[in-house]
Amino acid sequence: MQTFFRYNWIVREQWYQWCEGVPSEELLKARTGGVGSILKTLFHIADVEYSWIQFMLGGPDFQDSFEMYGSLDQVRTLDRRLRHDVEAFVTAWDSSMETRPLYDVRPDGTSEVHAWGEVMRHVIAHEIHHIGQLSVWAREIGRAPVSANLIRKGLIKPSV
Amino acid sequence: MQTFFRYNWIVREQWYQWCEGVPSEELLKARTGGVGSILKTLFHIADVEYSWIQFMLGGPDFQDSFEMYGSLDQVRTLDRRLRHDVEAFVTAWDSSMETRPLYDVRPDGTSEVHAWGEVMRHVIAHEIHHIGQLSVWAREIGRAPVSANLIRKGLIKPSV
């Protein structure tokens, strides 16, 4: 579990670095699919990761909109701020939390329940999925995307 | 680990079903990014999943090219055939395999080593990444993509 979060954080940081070399018009340009722009995707990833973890913790909802963070620097700063709580939660994860229920009661009275372990994996897959979208948009503007390889990042040390 | 594989297999099957409603020219059309077409992406996902697992098992290399499987039906049949061994390997996975070394010696004599646990997560992330690309291409042809949600698939039962 932690391995995938660390993978995602490394890849996300590499995308922020990639963004440094791209004009801000391209980062903000409306694109087909996903949430619509490169920078909005990075905001959305950080937002969704933080929001689910807040939901499990019973903390206040994160309701800021992308329009409040319209530049690369602002999104990165927000991400760094949210990461603090996310990282603490991920580091403290243990297997007893896997099936803990998360009740989601909607305003209309309907409800559903997720296992915390599902939610954590949902957050992981959510990021990787959106990063895949960035890789297509990168090629559309003629640039090589960040590698999505999980190997070669030193995430698990082989017992050699 | 198994949860993510089951997630990927469900989503992949849903993409095959999605493909049934799309003309084969669109499935084969060259697109920007990724490996270049919708059907080739599905072939590539099945190929990479199987190939890494064969590599860990020390089995023979899978060297078939996409051109040998140029239709939706052929790719699905291949996928079903390869899945047999993949599923057996994933089901038998246990935590003692996490740091087992996989040595990769290249024809030029250079080499690298991966932990089996890294390789398994690499295979998982690889599929989710490429599925993200399909979601953009789906919108390009005016169709809603398959949901990438990991929640609501009954993958982990909450202890309620």
Chain A interface includes B106 (CB < 8 A):
no
SS3 A115: strand
Distances in whole angstroms, Cα of residue B122 to Cα of each of A145, A156, B139: 17, 11, 27
Block means of pLDDT (10 residues each) for chain A, 160 residues, are: 97 98 98 97 98 96 94 98 97 97 94 97 98 98 98 96
- Determine the pLDDT at residue A103: 97
Positive or negative torsion for Cα A59, A65, B137, B121: negative
- Supply the mean pLDDT for chain B: 97
Mean local confidence (pLDDT), B5-18: 98
Cβ partners under 8 Å of residue A120, min gap 6: A1, A52, A93
Provide the residue range defining the domain that includes A11.
Answer: 2-140
Mean local confidence (pLDDT), B119-138: 98
**What is the total count of domains within chain A?**
1
Residue B117 maps to which CATH number? 1.20.120.450
Q: Classify residue A153: in a domain, yes or no.
A: no
Picking from A150, A153, A159 by the largest number of B CB atoms within 10 A of its own CB, the best residue to mutate is A150
Q: Classify residue B84: in a domain, yes or no.
A: yes
Chain B interface includes A106 (CB < 8 A):
no
Residue B18: which pLDDT band, with cuts at 50, 70 and 90? very high
- Determine the pLDDT at residue A9: 98
Residue B38: which pLDDT band, with cuts at 50, 70 and 90? very high
Residue B61 has pLDDT above 90, yes or no: no
Across the interface, whether the CB atoms of B34 and A136 are under 8 A apart is answered: yes
Q: Classify residue A52: in a domain, yes or no.
A: yes
- Determine the pLDDT at residue A61: 87
- Determine the pLDDT at residue A11: 98
Chain B interface includes A141 (CB < 8 A):
no
Q: Are A75 and A42 in contact (CB under 8 A)?
A: yes
- Map tokens 């903000």 to a residue: A28
Q: Classify residue A80: in a domain, yes or no.
A: yes
**Per-residue pLDDT reduced to its tens digit, B88-109:** 999 999 999 999 999 999 999 9
Q: Classify residue B160: in a domain, yes or no.
A: no
pTM of structure: 0.97
Across the interface, whether the CB atoms of A33 and B118 are under 8 A apart is answered: no
Across the interface, whether the CB atoms of B33 and A114 are under 8 A apart is answered: no
- Determine the pLDDT at residue B118: 98
* Percent composition of chain B: helix, strand, coil (DSSP 3-state, to 5): 60, 5, 35
SS3 A112: strand
- Mind telling me how many Å the CA of B95 is from chain A's nearest CA? 13
Mean local confidence (pLDDT), B135-152: 98
Q: Classify residue B153: in a domain, yes or no.
A: no
Whole-complex ipTM = 0.97
Q: Classify residue A155: in a domain, yes or no.
A: no
Where helices occur in A108-149 by DSSP H, the ranges are 116-140
% of chain B with per-residue pLDDT over 70:
100
Closest in B122, B149, B150 to A151, CB measured: B122
- Determine the pLDDT at residue B160: 82
Q: Classify residue A152: in a domain, yes or no.
A: no
Q: Which residue of B has its CA nearest to A136?
A: B33
- Mind telling me how many Å the CA of A68 is from chain B's nearest CA? 26
Closest in A33, A119, A128 to B151, CB measured: A119
